[in-house]
Amino acid sequence: MHVPVLQKEVIKFLAPKPNENFIDCTFGGGGHGLAIIEKILPNGKLLGIERDEEVIRRLKIKNQISKIKNNLILVCDNFANLKMVAEREKFGEASGILFDLGLSSWHLEKSARGFSFLREEFLDMRYGAQNYLTAEKIINEYFGKEIEKILKDYGEERFAKRIAGEIVATREIKPVKTTLQLVEIIKKATPDWYHRQRIHPATRTFQALRIAVNEELENLEKALPQALEILKKEGRLALISFNSLEDRLVKNFLRNNRSRLKILTKKPTSPSLEEIKFNPRSRSAKLRAAVKL
């Protein structure tokens, strides 16, 4: 099992106890889920939802979940369908629900789906094959204004118009199929000083395309009210976001439901310097938590 971001903090805020039932809406490599299951033994149940069939297949091949099979219900689905999944599995109310909204290291490094701008891969960016939309389709078929809006809305990219214009000009000559093709387009469309910033100049564009392809913000908006409904009284909700768009959405949801939730994190909890040193990708993580009144 991989070491997940903010694991100790998640366990602290969720406070799982023996025989309680929890939901991990983004099971992934199982790091958070395993830590929760250790606390809810012997009879507690964890409903793990994972959108990517390949991730689940790999877990089963590696026999990583066999030891906890009596405590784990693992489902391949979108957490936007949270309530339906819980009802289908006859799961009932939950003592705690976790959302870890980060992109996994496996998706970046091993999936070969074009999530990373550091290696040559086809521009797919889908979490699951059931999704028909790909980054390549957006890049090669959407109008320039639509691409610009995606880059602005989902990437907060200051050079969205210039990048979209360069994409359209390039695809008129030949289709844009791969990650490194797109990186070169972004570099061509942006000034030299932008290439020397702390983050890679393609970071925001790739984030925007990934969010658009997988409808990440829309799915989160659908899931949060369902989570509140499924939580039992005094049940706890923990959410880890990795960009300002997700964090803003989570923060506003918690604030707008203060009549039903007690917010446990006045300010979001961030990884320690030690964790960031061990796992640099954790640096942008923000954890917010609340308890249902």
Q: What are the sequence ranges of the domains in the chain?
A: 7-106+216-292, 111-214
- Per the listing, tokens 């964890």 go with 46
* Spatial separation of the C-alpha atoms in residues 231 and 86, rounded to whole Å: 11
111-214 shares the fold of 7-106+216-292: no
pLDDT at residue number 253: 98
- What is the per-residue pLDDT for 282? 87
* pLDDT, tens digit, 9 for 90 and up, residues 12-40: 999 999 999 999 999 988 889 999 999 99
The dihedral through the CA atoms of 134, 153, 165, 108 has a sign that is negative
Evaluate if residue 140 carries a pLDDT over 80.
yes
Q: Tell me the pairing of strands 231-241 and 94-100.
A: parallel
The pLDDT score that the predictor gives to residue 67 is 75
Q: Superfamily assignment of 7-106+216-292 in CATH?
A: Vaccinia Virus protein VP39 (3.40.50.150)
251-261 tens-digit pLDDT: 999 999 999 99
List Cα–Cα distances, 230 to 95, 127, 233, in angstroms.
9, 25, 10
Predicted pLDDT of residue 2? 60
Token pair recorded at residue 223: 């899931």
The average pLDDT across 166-178 equals 98
On average, the pLDDT of the chain sits at 94
CA dihedral 153, 243, 81, 72 (to 10 degrees): 160
The fold for domain 111-214 equals: DNA polymerase; domain 1 (1.10.150)
DSSP symbol at 71? T
The rounded Cα 134 to chain-centroid distance in angstroms is 17
**Percent of the chain residues past pLDDT 70, beyond the cut:** 98
Position of tokens 């991990």? 24
Q: What residues does 241 pair with on adjacent strands?
A: 286
Give CA separation, 101 vs 51, 205, 233, 252, 284, in Å.
Answer: 12, 18, 24, 16, 12
Q: What is the pLDDT of residues 226-265, one digit of tens each?
A: 999 999 999 999 999 999 999 999 999 999 999 999 999 9
Q: Against a cut of 0.85, is the pTM above it?
A: yes
Question: Is the confidence at residue 64, as pLDDT, over 80?
Answer: no
